Structure 1
Amino acid sequence: MNTSVSNFSREIGTQLKFAGIDDYPMESRQLISYCMNWDQRQYISSLNLPLEKDKMKRIEALVKRRISREPIQYILGSSSFYGRTFFVNPDVLIPRPETELLVEQIIKFVKETNLKEPKILDICTGSGIIAISLAKELPSSKVTATDISEEAIEVAKLNALRHQADIKFIRENCKESISGYYDIFVSNPPYIKTSAIDSLQPEIHLEPRIALDGGIDGTDILVSIIKNISKAFYKKRTAIFLEIDPTVSEKVVEASRLYFPKSFIDVTNDFAGLKRILTIQEK
């Protein structure tokens, strides 16, 4: 007799729980729904239905991957950000909720300053979530996105195509230079201290290290970006929005004051009350 969806979901949920997966009830539903090609409504309506053995084997294979601590976003091939679903794979960082603050801050800035056709540069674009979200939320904007990784740019291009976002992609090393004129610069760069990466949760070890490693104190890329933007910072209404590590916020603010002594500099807290978004704007 075949096992019902409900019973099988509990079984694999127990396996995930023992493996240290915190949100095991949701992830068990996600893995089953992914294999069965169900949405949430179809999953709920199928709870009492039997699962065929071949489908169970497929799901069990995915469960084994998750138990090995492969991020569920890589297993499913997707992740949500700012109300949209994006393709992700091990070539790109998995989107985090706090990064949505960058998008919100920029939308607010554009509306408050009444910028009609803002030119936006997204540095270290990764999967393209920031660039694409801004292009969709600000239809009149002209968005360019850069990354040092060719593989990441290919993922971002796929996401732009999926969401029909008109974005110019450029492979560029932000530590060496930042070219072009823009009204808004935005980046969620690597900002984790090199020594801290190995102590992070197992899933993070499978994300691209180049997208995580911010150098000895976590500020190498951040300071390089600030320095290079200062050379291309021309217009009074130009603004910079950077996601930062809360533990080095003071050092990043000091660097900002060094390169932008006459600018307004502020740090916004994230949902957890941690200093997360650095803003630099001409007074």
Structure 2
Amino acid sequence: MAGALMEYKALELGYTVSWEELTDPPLLYSAVADGQVDVYPSSWAERNHVGYIEPYAEQLEDLGAYQSGAISFLAVPEHSEMQSIEDIPEYWEEIGERIVGIEPGAGLTQQMIDDVLPAYGFEETDMVTSSTPAMLVELENAIAAGEEVVVTLWNPYWPMSEFDVRPLDDPLGAFGEPEGLHYVATAGFSEEHPELAEWVEDFELSDDEFNALENLIVNEYEDGDEQAAVEEWLQEFPGTLQRRLWRKLSVLSPRTPPTPQIWASELFAGIKRPTREIDRQTQHGRKALTLGLLAK
């Protein structure tokens, strides 16, 4: 959803904008590293996606985090009697003897396999991978029927605002602390596109703002109408986000690009981001921007 906002700002600055949809995180980060995609605007760069980023670290640039409270968890309907992950075995038969996951290649799925399932004594086969839409159908059906279900979920994400759903307590801390959502770009992006990079540096979203925009785009507008959704959303949040979006642009100097951010993860500490010459496509003399999207 932060990508739709970057598109909104880029269009105002005279860019042509396109989207590249890829099926899993490794392909997407490879495309950003190669310059096929300029920016991935929804990167869990501090922990969840570190394994995907590491092979391309020197070809990527972290433009900064726009949301600091992103976290994954196991979730249940609001009516559930379960309060903690430790309660799941007691309700194992009621939930169909499985935890409902998402795509096999997702960072959350790997986090479940590596950290969460073993921490609580589950086997890898206790989680059924499927797809994000299939998981949401299972969740919505259980809510409507008053039944028990356990799904992998995260926030910010629009169902957290639209469904009667809540996280299970994680007493062992297997999911870790909240992390930031980052704009990750091809190395050299901030020098080539200083206005957009400066906007990202000064940009932040709350959970409510993120979820409201995502809900509009996913559920209220058709594909291709994302910018109309942004326009409606800006009317809903006129006094907060709009000021953040535009307040620095009037004083930007294109001759003074911002300093690229370093990676928040210690894994990338000390790596110097090289500046590369990138052959950007242009259309009718306008700058072109390609944003990355994970297919779901």
Shorter chain as normaliser: what TM range?
under 0.3
Q: Which has the larger radius of gyration?
A: 1
User: What is the TM-score when the length of structure 2 is the normalising length?
Assistant: 0.23
TM-score by length of structure 1 reads 0.23
